[in-house]
A and B are shown apart, each in its own frame.
Chain A
């Protein structure tokens, strides 16, 4: 029976691989997004004014827009035909989507607060919240690590290398 566990890496990356239901749905959503992007790109290209150049600014975006539409439609059609026979994927933990939303909200808050409260405070908070969302068992060590990491980065990059990082009202 020892010959059974043969490994075929090349074939594994080939096209014959069966996709699970989640992958098929995700590629359908991606195809849909590409169709939206196609419309945006084409509308944006058409609105560009004529110039005296032989090849204007719209010459390249237009075919890209068309290709976006074609490939997006291709993905949608392929997902439609494969959805019926796609097996269910492996179980996922609950609230995964919620955690991603939480992370996105944290990142947006980070982007908005960075110029206000400075690099060290916002990065320490980003580290702690991210670690907790990712499943850190206790919060206190994460807050401590976040502070340490952010402070070290600030010292090395801002003071040593000279990359100016935003500071809060307290100077770091």
Chain B
């Protein structure tokens, strides 16, 4: 129980009045921004990252953890009351939750989402506490070939899972990889894709890309399509669960957590998968199948829990291997780097106290969110009545502020604008944005490991498949590439079979 003592030390660090204050500030701002429609956790975290730049690393990380979990909670409030999920992982909660809200059960939906997130977040954080150090011990044995194979797994799964098709996912991933090439090559000092512009020599900051692809493209799309009028479902009562609702919710919370954490902690992309799986599971297990599609509380409780457990799970590969598997995790990795920390196997040994303080503040943040969300649900719901032109004008102001804080030059702002237009085109074409963010972060890391591996072997590529771990990982890559093809084949066969039997 070595971790236990370290965790207690972490709590001692997190529970100082100053740190508690930062956690509270982070949780509040995170929820408030996350509630705004169209703003998911990744964007919340990216836009608010500059706020934390000037704090000492411990306070910054604590505030940051609060923003992350707060953004997740805020997002579910929006999907339930407004039916505009900020990211695909909360799509399911919008599905059943908004139906519940329309049936006048908004309070119950919000309560089951908030308590479910708390339960899942807490169990997920406990699991993280015990799994992460063990895994990071295992990961210290990884050499460059293992890293290359792991990153290949992430690349393929992220593009295959985070979008409508592998081709579009790959297109998005390549956008990220290409943007990641810009700047001076760290190993040879050669400028790449700079075109003689000095400000590009340092590369394009991740914050700028995230803000452009998520925030600017959203604002541009509203200009193009007209903002429309979405109706906010009123919240009349206090967010409390009745006994009956609680009885129906808790098995779903636990099932959602059981799906979310393990799948989230795989070094393969996506918090979306467990939420979808949890929804179909709840639909299968429910005693009230007639309510599904019309506002079943299990359909909110399970996916919400799965989403939050996966969010804790995503931190496992991030902290132990340095491998982000979602857009949000990619932004968190950038945050770590900006505080001078490099997530990976050495993180626990080199910056142990800081990491344990972070993990402890995840517990603290979760409790704060529960306390903050149930009584304040009405206040958050009020934020939704801000007209959308006001929200997106404000988003633009914060987007430019974040960009200026990250880069600080006119060129950065012009790059922001250009990438925003690219993001608009991607939205119009139905190309997902998240793979681009993961590609942008992982691309340079993968290149570094690949070149390290090939330098070790003096150019012999067989080093990439030299160990049992790498061989297994490359098999996973091939399977993930074949999966969509196989799925399509099965589907067309099934369709042909039903057509045959109909005849």
Contacts and interface: CB of A to CB of B under 8 A. Distances in A.
A70 B293 CA distance: 41
- In this complex, which of A51, A60, A68, A131 has the most chain B Cβ atoms within 10 angstroms of its Cβ? A60
A162 B55 CA distance: 10
Contacts of B421: 100, 104
A131 B388 CA distance: 9
Interface residues of A, number: 83
Given A7-B95, A163-B405, A53 B389 contact: no
B413 interface: yes
Contacts of A10: 276, 279-280
B181 A41 contact: yes
A169 interface: no
A172 interface: no
A13 B165 CA distance: 9
Contacts of A155: none
Interface in A70-104: 71-72, 74-75, 78, 92-93, 96-97, 99-100, 103-104
Contacts of B450: 55, 59-60
B413 A114 contact: yes
Contacts of A16: 491
Contacts of A99: 223-224
A103 to B, nearest CB: 6
Interface stretch (B14-22, B107-115, B120-128, B166-174): B166-174
A57 B417 CA distance: 29
Contacts of A146: 393, 397
Given A54-B459, A72-B171, A92-B226, A165 B279 contact: no
B274 to A, nearest CB: 12
A121 interface: no
A17 B280 CA distance: 20
Contacts, number: 218
B200 to A, nearest CB: 12
Given A127-B394, A134-B393, A103 B459 contact: no
Interface in A120-170: 123, 126-128, 130-136, 142, 145-146, 149-150, 153, 157, 161-163, 165-166
Secondary structure class of chain A's binding surface, majority of residues: helix
Interface in A4-54: 5-7, 9-10, 13-17, 19, 22-23, 26-27, 29-31, 33-34, 37, 40-41, 44-45, 48-49, 51, 53-54
Contact of A9 (B92, B165, B416): B92
A150 B292 CA distance: 46
Nearest to A79: B429
A26 B428 contact: yes
Contacts of A19: 430
Given A9-B92, A104-B417, A131-B393, A78 B167 contact: yes
A71 B174 contact: yes
Contacts of A17: 164
A45 B192 contact: yes
B177 A135 contact: no
**The 4 nearest A-B residue pairs measured at CB:** A111-B413, A26-B428, A134-B389, A26-B429
Interface of B: 50-51, 53-54, 88, 91-92, 95, 164-165, 167-168, 170-171, 174, 177-178, 181, 185, 187-188, 190, 192-193, 219-220, 222-227, 276, 279-280, 290, 292-294, 387-390, 392-394, 396-397, 400-401, 404-405, 410, 413-414, 416-417, 420-422, 424-426, 428-431, 447, 450-451, 454-455, 458-459, 484, 487-488, 491
15 contacts: A7-B292, A10-B279, A27-B429, A29-B429, A34-B171, A34-B174, A61-B193, A68-B174, A93-B226, A107-B413, A107-B420, A114-B413, A130-B396, A131-B389, A135-B389
